[in-house]
Amino acid sequence: MIYPQQPPVGYQEIASTLRTEIHSGKYRPGRRLPSEGALAQTYGVASKTARAALKQLRDEGLAELVRGYGVVVREPVEPQLIVAEPGSQVWARNPTPEERRALDVPEGVPLLIIRSPGGLDEAYSAHRHRVEVPPPE
């Protein structure tokens, strides 16, 4: 809610509030988050701002879009540890539509790419994996 003498609310503040409510259990996995319209009305912002807040949560892997239903809280996933070879390079990028299907990567979740010292690239869904690269021996 907006009050006089309060600075304007941006999408990051709305996303932060929703993130806190997700972590506190107010919104449990599978539960629908407020719609763009409801957020816009509650915070006195444009629909575009509310949409950006929901997109931020999707990009972080906390929520996902269910067509015809809305944005829902995603079930938390305990990430699997992958220990890469010493000297490997690791970076993140968005998957192609084919990679998203083949690796079952939800919308808004990037891939972790591991390039071994031999030049072989492997891709992992960032919401299900974390990578550790030991220092070179």
Encoding tokens for residue 75?
């079930």
pTM: 0.64
Encoding tokens for residue 77?
């996933």
111 falls within a domain: yes
SS3 121: strand
> What is the C-alpha separation between 106 and 19, in angstroms, rounded?
18
Residues 64 and 88 in one domain: no
Dihedrals phi, psi of 123, to nearest 5 degrees? -115, 140
> What is the C-alpha separation between 96 and 77, in angstroms, rounded?
22
4 falls within a domain: no
Residue range 82-117, pLDDT digits in tens: 999 999 999 999 999 999 889 988 777 899 999 999
For residue 37, the domain's CATH number is 1.10.10.10
Q: What confidence score (pLDDT) does residue 5 get?
A: 58
Average the pLDDT over 37-60 and give the result. Answer: 93
Instruction: Supply the mean pLDDT for the chain.
Output: 90
Which of 73, 103, 123 is a domain's end point? 73
Which of 22, 53, 73 is a domain's end point? 73
